[in-house]
């Protein structure tokens, strides 16, 4: 039986190689005063920024530029909004990875306000954003967060009292998500690996989430199918292959759509906690924890009675999908669950995803992390000892 579900709206999606060229006809639909939010170096080094500015100069657009070098903090957003609030910005365009996409989303939402973004962050402030914003176009240059398809912007403040929280409203979904895989070709292997593992984690966690629906299940499996065939290639011999990059871009997009509707699990619960305490790339946290978290989730589901059957079947579905043995029988639940864990372990090793200890996390820090962790929509309840084991195994 299909249970009741809601499905959030998505942006107007323009997808495909070369689709960046459509931007120059889209901008006049919103106005001529444009704020571009980009990464600090990658877009410029690739030559794409020069190409973009050459065209918009000919179009006589009045544009401003803001470069983002790290995950957006309240200070970064507040300073940007103060700088550009009086510039009569009619359109914000974010071109970059997840941090840039979220920063652009937050800036477009806060320009109409007069106070700090902190006041509107979930679990931090005491105000609820009303959805008023400057129109926003999200143009991802990595295949990772899927933020081009979501209604929230993740804002971080790192430190002992730090947080990683969302500014959220249905109207903050980008007006347009313009996804051109050609922009991702210059993405280096280490970033492609971390972003790819983040996107795959989102697809997997959305698929096994108790809040999933037939729609999210179908989209998540579709995204995982394309990422399975292309993730390793995108980080090695296929880095310049447009078909490989297109498949990765599609998987990332599906991850954003599915997480927005089915939620995420323990990996992202840990990522929020760790990311608020330590300066570690979000994709690295997800990538390094995914196999271990999946292993423990499966173990806990196997220990349950019939209530864990659906969760196990979903993990087995993914194992069967990812398995290179095309004759594998879908009904072999335990075998397919083992295949899933083995494949995720192999990806973690082959992609050289760093351990948490590389970033200074020590054994004595684990208790602090655990106290900040939420399970989100994990398919099974985990105890503190379970979460501790996940972290220790990737320290």
Residue 139 CA from chain centroid, whole number: 14
Strand order through the sheet with 62-68? 12-15, 176-179, 136-140, 91-96, 33-39, 62-68
Tell me the DSSP string of 302-332. HHSSGGGHHHHHHHHHHHHHH-S-TT--TT-
- Nearest-CA neighbor of 136 among 164, 184, 103, 158? 103
Percent of the chain with pLDDT over 90: 93
Distance, in Å, from the CA atom of 38 to the CA atom of 140, rounded to the nearest integer, reads: 10
- Non-local (6+) Cβ contacts of 49 within 8 A are 38, 43
The whole-number pLDDT of residue 325 equals 62
Q: What angle do CA 142, 91, 191 make, to 5 degrees?
A: 10
| 227 to 251, 267, 269, 301, 352: CA distances (angstroms) | 6, 19, 23, 26, 17
Tell me the DSSP string of 143-162. SS--GGG-SEEEEEE-STT-
The whole-number pLDDT of residue 330 equals 53
Per-state percent for the chain, helix, strand, coil, to nearest 5: 55, 10, 35
Distance, in Å, from the CA atom of 147 to the CA atom of 100, rounded to the nearest integer, reads: 10
On average, the pLDDT of the chain sits at 95
| 107 to 29, 100, 170: CA distances (angstroms) | 20, 10, 16
Domains and CATH numbers, the chain: 12-184 (3.40.50.1970), 189-392 (1.20.1090.10)
Sign of CA dihedral 272, 273, 274, 279: positive
- Nearest-CA neighbor of 43 among 74, 20, 27? 20
The whole-number pLDDT of residue 331 equals 60
**Is 326's pLDDT higher than 90?**
no
**pLDDT tens digits along 170-183:** 999 999 999 999 99
**Is 328's pLDDT higher than 60?**
no
Q: Which stretches within 209-332 are classed as H helix?
A: 214-234, 242-262, 266-277, 282-303, 309-322
**pLDDT tens digits along 349-362:** 999 999 999 999 99
- Non-local (6+) Cβ contacts of 35 within 8 A are 63, 64, 65, 66, 84, 87, 89, 91, 92, 93, 107, 134
**Is 327's pLDDT higher than 60?**
no
**Is 329's pLDDT higher than 60?**
no
**pLDDT tens digits along 248-296:** 999 999 999 999 999 999 999 999 999 999 999 999 999 999 999 999 9
**pLDDT tens digits along 126-182:** 999 999 999 999 999 999 999 999 999 999 999 999 999 999 999 999 999 999 999
**pLDDT tens digits along 208-217:** 999 999 999 9
């Amino acid at each position: 039986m299909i249970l009741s579900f809601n499905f959030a709206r998505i942006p107007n999606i323009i997808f495909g190689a070369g689709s960046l060229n459509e931007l120059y006809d889209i901008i006049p639909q919103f106005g001529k005063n444009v704020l571009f939010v980009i990464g600090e170096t990658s877009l410029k080094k690739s030559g794409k920024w020069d190409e973009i500015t050459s065209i918009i100069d000919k179009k006589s657009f009045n544009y401003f530029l803001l470069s983002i070098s790290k995950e957006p903090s309240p200070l970064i957003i507040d300073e940007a909004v103060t700088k550009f609030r009086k510039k009569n910005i009619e359109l914000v365009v974010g071109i970059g990875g997840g941090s840039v996409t979220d920063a652009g989303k937050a800036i477009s939402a806060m320009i109409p306000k007069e106070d700090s973004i902190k006041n509107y962050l979930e679990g931090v402030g005491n105000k609820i954003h009303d959805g008023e914003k400057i129109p926003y176009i999200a143009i991802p240059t990595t295949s990772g967060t899927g933020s081009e398809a979501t209604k929230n912007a993740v804002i971080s403040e790192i430190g002992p009292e730090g947080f990683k929280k969302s500014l959220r409203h249905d109207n903050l979904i980008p007006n347009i998500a313009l996804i051109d895989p050609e922009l991702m070709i210059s993405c280096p292997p280490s970033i492609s690996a971390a972003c790819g593992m983040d996107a795959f984690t989102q697809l997997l966690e959305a698929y096994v989430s108790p809040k999933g629906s037939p729609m999210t299940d179908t989209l998540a499996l579709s995204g995982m199918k394309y990422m399975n065939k292309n993730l390793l290639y995108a980080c090695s011999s296929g880095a310049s292959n447009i078909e490989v990059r297109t498949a990765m871009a599609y998987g990332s997009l599906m991850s954003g759509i599915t997480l927005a509707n089915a939620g995420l699990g323990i990996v992202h619960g840990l990522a929020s906690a760790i990311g608020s305490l330590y300066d570690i790339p979000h994709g690295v946290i997800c990538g390094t924890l995914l196999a271990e978290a999946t292993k423990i989730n499966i173990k806990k589901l196997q220990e349950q009675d019939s209530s864990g059957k659906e969760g196990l079947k979903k993990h087995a579905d993914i194992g069967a999908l990812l398995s290179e043995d095309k004759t594998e029988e879908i009904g072999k639940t335990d075998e397919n669950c083992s295949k899933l864990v083995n494949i995720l372990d192999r990806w973690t090793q082959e992609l050289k995803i760093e351990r948490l200890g590389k970033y200074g996390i020590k054994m004595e820090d684990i208790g602090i992390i655990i106290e900040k962790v939420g399970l989100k929509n994990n398919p099974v309840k985990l105890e503190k000892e379970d979460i501790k084991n996940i972290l220790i195994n990737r320290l």
